[in-house]
Structure 1
Amino acid sequence: CPDWTGATKKPSGRDFALVAFTPDGNKAYATTMGDESAFSVSLDNGKCWNQLSLIDTSIASISDVAVSPDCDVTYLATINTATVCGCDSVWMKDDNATEYAGVWQRVYYVKLGTEGLLRLSPEHDDGDIVYLGDQDTKNLYWATSKGICKWSIKDSPTIPIQDFALADDDTLYVINGEDDLVRWTEAKGDWSSSVDHKAVAGHAIVVLGDYVLVGGSTGSVGYSDDAGDSFSRLGDKGALTGLVHVAFDSYFGDNDTVYAAVADLVDEKAGGIYRWVIDDST
């Protein structure tokens, strides 16, 4: 008798699955019925399935987008506001794929809270490792191989996720909506104790090697040059106003320059993009 095993990632849908292989056996297709049913494809003998078309889902909003450093792979996180199923989705398009190049595939779906956040490991130009964070919860999901096959659940951080960032494959930072930052390292295999990031009510985080920038919700920016062990505030507390998004200059290693972007919904003149040079600006 054959040794039957279940799929690592099943086709979506509730029931009435029909499966057919191409004559050469290199592809399998499946159709299903019910919520989230779709026309799905497998390129590994039915081990992992991804949705190609006729997907019975809804997209109320796009919550995030991530593009690989080589610009060939794009991910989208979308929200389905229906309450009857876990139907929020991650979509992937690979312009250099051997099969279905430039075609959107749904590579994961799960019930999220308010927003899904996508982050890629900077170690891979092709966007091979992707993370999905469930904002305002402690749920983190991740996958290799561009999400085509198995998705895993990361050990929950000790604080709710406002934003998160990857320094590399083995180092992950999470901030909450207050003043806390925690770090995961593969070597330790656990989350660090929380550190005050000095940004006041964290909003956004970016990482470049051992350098960490945190933008706050009330106009402050926190900076670390020791992988998040300690932080200082760039400028006075609340020198800017509103939600702050932060970025490192493309030549940060040479010019020590960082940026803060602020959209002030009350005072348009207070919004804009601001620049700070480490150990120079005051």
Structure 2
Amino acid sequence: MRNIKLTIEYDGKRYLGWQRLGDSEKTVQGKIESVITQMTGEKIEIIGSGRTDAGTHARGQVANFKTNTEMTCNDMLIFFNRYLPSDIVVKKVEEMPERFHARYNVKGKQYSYYVWNDSIPTAFERYRSFYFPQTLDMDKMNAACEKLIGKHDFVGFSALKKTKKSTTRTIETISIEREGSMLHFTFIGDGFLHKMIRILVGTILEIGSGKLPVTIIDEVLENKIREAAGETAPAQGLFLDEVFLIIDSYSEDLTICYE
């Protein structure tokens, strides 16, 4: 049986997120699985590197599935992009060793978040950014980012209720760049909790606008109280840019069939 890895780009505006919900076709996973069944004649469940929420976009989501099809990777790529909706694109198809797993082989991820910061809203970027018209203090926002970098328990910056799993994560980088009216946040870390990036962005924006002090970062990290942090920024500004994978010794045998 072959193990196929996909690199996927999608506009999440009209989907309920990545994860298939029952038989719902309103998810990215559901749409892709439907095309795989059409392509191979097999009922296949794909494994994603992780979930994305309703409305969240991706430039580099990674998934894999097992199949008996004899189609070449190039033919599969052509089939996917012929029959998938135009807001879901398979960018790359690779045949991987049997042990490759799109979730278990992840060592980190990079996300972007976009904020339109102007007194006048934007017509063209409204589904791909968060409109936040308040004046922002970039020095305070950068100071907040510095406090978040490193290894911390981020449960207070998440939408998790109760979990037995670890809520400790390591953030390597948080940067904010301005291009005209658009702010571009970049987050790189070994993993992110449910709605963590959106809550971090909402908190940083409230610090920048003067609604919250910079010290709120320390308080939430220490006390782990979600209600003390800022509002959750909306999903449409969030993009999964890239999934960083563990390169094991077996990866020397992989075949990149199409790029």
- Please classify the TM superposition score into its range, dividing by the shorter chain length: under 0.3
Q: Which has the higher contact order (CA 8 A, sep 6+)?
A: 2
Larger radius of gyration, structure 1 or 2?
Answer: 1
Which structure dedicates a bigger proportion of its chain to helix?
2
Which structure dedicates a bigger proportion of its chain to strand?
1
Give the alignment's TM-score, normalised by structure 1.
0.25
